[in-house]
Amino acid sequence: MRIYKIKVDYVKFLYNYDNRVLYAPDKPDSYTENRPYVGIVLNINGLNYFAPFERYKPRHEGLTEKLVIKFPDKNGLISFNNMIPVPNNVLISFDINKEPKRDQLIAQYVFCKKNWERIQRKAEQVYKNRTVHQSKPDEYIRKFCCDFTKIEEGYRDYCRLHSLDNNQSISNSKRTISNLISKIQKSKDWDMEI
């Protein structure tokens, strides 16, 4: 499990498919770059989904955990209603130790590691509630949750435009690497020059 940032251009691209994607079109890109998406990547419906963290705001105090999971000690929340499908090339790895909010990010990371199964279940539940009940979604979910069907269409279009495999997922990548290593080891002609 890792915490990532995400490229602004991709967020802007998906915003064209659903205006609930967290992007401020009335602000310059530098605004969004200075307030980057930071979050975790989950596997949902065979795709990488990026679930962003949000900083704590007083309005979150009475918020139920229908679409989010709150971090302890008002350390923010994981916003499943704002999660988006992502190809691997838009994920940005970074060194938590060099971040201004290092202590908060470490606390969030530790929480995510300890609660990974709960987080995965919540993400899948929010996804299912928004997609399976697409024709009659709960009004609250419809109002505050990205339309995953629309943004998956945007994801596929982005992958086509950039000649990417649109079935990327972290688990698929690991499986592909394992399969490749296995094939190489089974092959008689696996001597390679480095």
Q: What is the pLDDT of residue 175?
A: 45
Q: How confident is the model at residue 13 (pLDDT cuts 50, 70, 90)?
A: very high
pLDDT reading at 76 higher than 60: yes
Residue labelled with tokens 């350390």:
75
Asked if 77 and 54 count as a contact pair (C-beta separation under 8 A), the reply is yes
Average of per-residue pLDDT values in the chain: 82
pLDDT tens digits along 93-147: 999 999 999 999 999 999 999 999 999 999 999 999 898 865 666 778 888 899 9
In three-state secondary structure terms, 183 is helix
Tell whether the model's pLDDT for residue 153 goes beyond 80.
Answer: yes
What mean pLDDT comes out for the span 2-10? 93
> 125 or 166: whose pLDDT is higher?
125
Cα-Cα-Cα-Cα dihedral sign, residues 115, 117, 120, 122: negative
Q: What topology does CATH give the domain 3-186?
A: Thiol Ester Dehydrase; Chain A (3.10.129)
Give residue limits of the domains in the chain: 3-186
3-state helix, strand, coil in the chain (%, to 5): 50, 15, 35
The per-residue pLDDT for 1 is 84
